[in-house]
Chains A and B, each alone.
Chain A
Amino acid sequence: MKINLFKAHLRPLDFVIFVLALLAVIGSSVLVLGRQSGTRYVQISGDSGEWIAPLDRDAEYRIPGPIGTTLVHIHDGHAAIVESPCANQLCVLSGAISEPNQWVACLPNKVFVRIVSGGTTDEGAIDAGTY
């Protein structure tokens, strides 16, 4: 079975459609690459293990530690420690974090919460809260 390309009688719109489809392929590739590096995760380290969660999905994590349970809340693209068994409550007072490399920690209960970026180059936007 032979199909002759030149005999196929291609019409002008065929080329337009081909180019549009090609643009869709290229466009989706660019979008996917950009999106991938922009995804942020919450990384939680505790005494008994490690947790990872996407920042854009609301969730609640109970992290066990030496003096009790620390409650980490992910909501609206922000992560925060909302309940802690520690005496000074500094971690709760630190508030919510959302930019890559920001962190909150509860030292007495050995819980460390940090925002990491899905990409390798994305260092995050400059944020007033980080100086």
Chain B
Amino acid sequence: MQAPTDTLRNAPCRTVASRFSNTPDVTALLAAFCFFLSAVEYMLPKPLPFMRLGIANLPILLAVDLLPFRWFLLLAAAKVVGMSIISGTLFSYVALFSLAGTMVAALVMRGIRKSGRQAVSPVGISIAGAVTSNAIQMLIARYVIFGEVAWLIAPLFLATGLITGTAMGLFAAHFAANSQWYACALKGTEFSPPASSGTQSSDTAARRPKQKSARAQRRDSRRMKRREAYEARINAVYSALAGIAVAVFFLFQRGLFPKTIFLVGFILWAWLAGKRFSLSSTLVVSLGIVAANLLIPSGRVLARIGPLAITELALIEGISKALTFEGLMYLSKAAIMPSLRFPGRFGIIIAQAFRYYDRIIEYREGLRPKSFVRDIDLLLQKVWAQA
């Protein structure tokens, strides 16, 4: 693994007709890297469940200078849709938050680059994107789930955007200055293909980043068995269509009891489909939604905890919103299968991105925190050269 990486590192850009002129292909590769980096992000510790560093936005930041406008927007959309398919959240509010935040932020980032030209660096672009994205998500949180109380967390949310945006911008600037792949892509010239990086490891055990306990492994393998059995029988498109139909019906439910029944049904469905989920994080998020709703008291006072009055209507509304939020989440996880593809040009890009993603997953062992930038660059080069 060591020898070929060194030749790669020093590989100069070749001035031959290159695949970098194939914009859809570059878009698909960058989208695949978004998926991959969001998986990396998933493994990092978080101070709060909704706080993320946003390293999945690195390819978007790079693409500001790399892709034509239409393809840049397509990359942003592909990032959200692809990530929602992988996590199975496509039909949930999470995808709505993500889509609105990402698309508006992409427009702002591109606009700042075009109007600011050389007066702005990736740091400024990144801050603007992160704060915009968080502000948009705040607005949706206000009008869809949390109500008036959403304003209370606005300062915290914007401050988070400022901090992570700055960090990501510095990282992106550092990456852009050091990446061979990016340098060649900007110039539109191909780099020399790596000499002998055909060391494909098909050993699935080697891909696992950490050793899991025997019990967790057994649970995982049982889940994978259910998943294979499920995927062998069910068509991904029909499953998604069924999911949409059930979602519409679910959203018309008003009572807490029918909503609860639906939620339990969706959890069972997701279990049957062999999807990974965590009931404890569902509980934590639900309690958060209920608590947020209790902050604005409404209705009969049921109890008092210190200065906080637990009021009947606020409690019912909070539980109802939590049930809807989590219900859609599980329904989405159950109905969205990883093999789901979209028709048309957009679908082709997403499909290609998934092919690249599979290849990234295959090569990812070399990723270490110490040489993160270099490792990612090498990964980009390898995956690109192998195509």
Q: Mark B361-378, 1 if CB is under 8 A from A, else 0.
A: 000000001111100000
Q: Please tell me the size bucket of the interface on A.
A: 20 to 34
CB neighbours (8 Å) of B369 from chain A are 1
Partner of A24, one of B131, B151, B370, B373: B131
Q: Mark A21-39, 1 if CB is under 8 A from B, else 0.
A: 1101100110110011001
Please give the distance in Å from B147's CB to the nearest CB on chain A.
Answer: 10
Determine the main DSSP class of B at the interface with A: helix
Docked-complex contact A11 and B371, CB < 8 angstroms: no
Docked-complex contact A50 and B121, CB < 8 angstroms: no
Partner of B296, one of A5, A22, A24, A54: A54
CB neighbours (8 Å) of B309 from chain A are 52
Docked-complex contact B161 and A54, CB < 8 angstroms: no
Docked-complex contact B174 and A24, CB < 8 angstroms: no
CB neighbours (8 Å) of A17 from chain B are 112, 120, 124, 127-128
Docked-complex contact B121 and A8, CB < 8 angstroms: yes
Q: Please tell me the size bucket of the interface on B.
A: 35 or more
| A1-B370, A18-B124, A21-B165 known; A52+B311 contact, CB < 8 A | yes
Interface pick from B205-213, B297-305, B324-332:
B297-305
Q: Check: B119 CB closer than 8 A to any chain A CB.
A: yes
Docked-complex contact B123 and A51, CB < 8 angstroms: no
A50 CA to B170 CA, complexed, in Å: 54
| B152 to A, closest residue via Cβ | A32
Q: Check: A103 CB closer than 8 A to any chain B CB.
A: no
Please give the distance in Å from B243's CB to the nearest CB on chain A.
Answer: 34
Partner of B173, one of A9, A50, A57: A9
Docked-complex contact A28 and B173, CB < 8 angstroms: no
Partner of A49, one of B128, B161, B300: B300
Segment 313-357 of B: residues with Cβ below 8 Å from A: 313
Docked-complex contact A12 and B119, CB < 8 angstroms: yes
Please give the distance in Å from B158's CB to the nearest CB on chain A.
Answer: 5
Partner of A28, one of B148, B158, B370: B158
Please give the distance in Å from A2's CB to the nearest CB on chain B.
Answer: 9
Docked-complex contact B123 and A10, CB < 8 angstroms: yes
Segment 37-60 of A: residues with Cβ below 8 Å from B: 39, 41, 49-54, 57, 59
Q: Check: A127 CB closer than 8 A to any chain B CB.
A: no
| B113 to A, closest residue via Cβ | A13
| A35-B151, A54-B298 known; A24+B371 contact, CB < 8 A | no
Partner of A21, one of B120, B151, B161, B301: B161
| A41 to B, closest residue via Cβ | B297
Segment 113-136 of B: residues with Cβ below 8 Å from A: 116, 118-121, 123-124, 127-128, 131, 135
CB neighbours (8 Å) of A13 from chain B are 112, 116, 119-120, 124
| B167 to A, closest residue via Cβ | A3
| A1-B371, A11-B120, A52-B309 known; A21+B128 contact, CB < 8 A | yes
CB neighbours (8 Å) of A9 from chain B are 121, 173
| A1-B372, A32-B151 known; A21+B171 contact, CB < 8 A | no
| A3-B174, A29-B155 known; A11+B118 contact, CB < 8 A | yes
Which 3 pairs of residues, A with B, have the shortest CB-CB distance?
A: A14-B124, A13-B120, A52-B297
6 more contacts with CB within 8 A, not counting A5-B170, A8-B121, A31-B151, are: A17-B127, A39-B296, A49-B301, A50-B300, A53-B298, A57-B298
Residues of B within 8 A of A (CB): 112, 116, 118-121, 123-124, 127-128, 131, 135, 148, 151-152, 154-155, 158-159, 161-162, 165-166, 169-171, 173-174, 296-301, 309, 311, 313, 369-373
Residues of A within 8 A of B (CB): 1, 3, 5, 8-18, 21-22, 24-25, 28-29, 31-32, 35-36, 39, 41, 49-54, 57, 59
